[in-house]
């Protein structure tokens, strides 16, 4: 798969992810805009030294606890997420008993089916939101993301949204859902509107969340509640931004 990327290249991992995305584009999983979106993510990742911060880890703990306490958690999957972490999406869904729903901004039936196939190849049996299954609508949302599965996002109490544009999070919050976002940009509308924002790269956050979910499987409900609700997302975002600013200042 790797085209001329030496293992010891200082940016090997980052270049490998780019290759995955380019292949995903060629296979019809992601759109041109997804490549651009990834570039924006990379720029923010650079500002946190491409590492998971303490703050992001705290947010992940709250997020995983929320998913484990939820009655009907759903992981929403778009092109980029499917392309770079389908395996972890399936694992996290399995441990947290979450449903997996395909929800695309640039929705085409061909892309939905390609993403469903990829998720199935990674071990899931049920994929929600594909084709005519997305027959319900999120009110007040004009984009294609409004179309959701009546047995998935529509009835979910907690929705994990790894990496997307900001139109939907606000609409989901308005209809009473808790939204967990993974977004490298702490200033994005999704990041600002979510109930819990994990400011990290999905390629690092998703495997870590799988690990946490395994660890939390035997925790008492009261402990999970403490982790889930004892978390302030406004402070989280402030600290995440401060981290970026401090990092920039220390290079003066």
List residues binding ligand PTJ (CB under 6 A): 30-31, 33-34, 37-38, 40-41, 44, 78-80, 104-106, 163-165, 182-185, 188, 201-203
Closest distance of CB 80 from ligand PTJ, Å: 5
In the bound state with ligand PTJ, the residue whose beta carbon lies nearer, of 24 and 73, is 24
Distance CA 26, CA 104 (A): 17
Closest distance of CB 188 from ligand PTJ, Å: 4
Backbone angles phi, psi at 102, to 5 degrees: -85, 125
Closest distance of CB 184 from ligand PTJ, Å: 4
In the bound state with ligand PTJ, the residue whose beta carbon lies nearer, of 69 and 182, is 182
Q: Taking a C-beta distance cutoff of 8 angstroms, is the pair 191, 161 a contact?
A: no
Give the DSSP per-residue string, 131-197: GGG--EE-TT--SGGGEE-TTTGGG-SEEEEES--THHHHHHHHTT-EEEEE-S-TTSHHHHHSSEE
Closest distance of CB 223 from ligand PTJ, Å: 28
Rg (alpha carbons) of the chain, rounded to whole number: 17
In the bound state with ligand PTJ, the residue whose beta carbon lies nearer, of 30 and 68, is 30
Q: Which two tokens stand for residue 47?
A: 């500002």
Closest distance of CB 8 from ligand PTJ, Å: 23
In the bound state with ligand PTJ, the residue whose beta carbon lies nearer, of 165 and 211, is 165
Distance CA 83, CA 80 (A): 5
In the bound state with ligand PTJ, the residue whose beta carbon lies nearer, of 67 and 115, is 115
């Amino acid at each position: 798969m790797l085209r001329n990327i030496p293992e010891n290249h200082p940016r090997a991992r980052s270049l490998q992810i780019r290759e995955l995305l380019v292949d995903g584009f060629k296979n019809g999983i992601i759109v041109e805009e997804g490549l651009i979106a990834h570039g924006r993510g990379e720029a923010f990742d650079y500002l946190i030294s491409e590492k998971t911060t303490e703050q992001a880890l705290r947010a992940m703990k709250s997020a995983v606890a929320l998913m484990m306490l939820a009655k009907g958690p759903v992981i929403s999957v778009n092109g980029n997420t499917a392309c770079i972490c389908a395996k972890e999406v399936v694992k996290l869904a399995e441990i947290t008993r979450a449903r997996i729903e395909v929800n695309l901004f640039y929705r085409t039936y061909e892309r939905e089916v390609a993403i469903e196939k990829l998720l199935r190849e990674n071990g899931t049996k049920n994929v929600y939101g594909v084709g005519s299954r997305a027959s319900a609508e999120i009110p007040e949302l004009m984009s294609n993301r409004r179309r959701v599965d009546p047995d998935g996002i529509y009835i979910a109490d907690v929705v994990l949204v790894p990496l997307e544009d900001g139109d939907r999070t606000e609409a989901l919050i308005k209809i009473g859902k808790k939204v967990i976002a993974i977004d490298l940009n702490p200033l994005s509308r999704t990041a600002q509107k979510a109930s819990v924002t994990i400011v990290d790269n999905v390629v690092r956050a998703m495997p870590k969340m799988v690990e946490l979910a395994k660890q939390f499987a035997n925790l008492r409900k009261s402990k999970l509640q403490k982790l889930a609700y004892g978390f302030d997302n406004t402070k989280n975002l402030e600290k995440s931004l401060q981290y970026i600013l401090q990092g920039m200042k220390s290079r003066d």
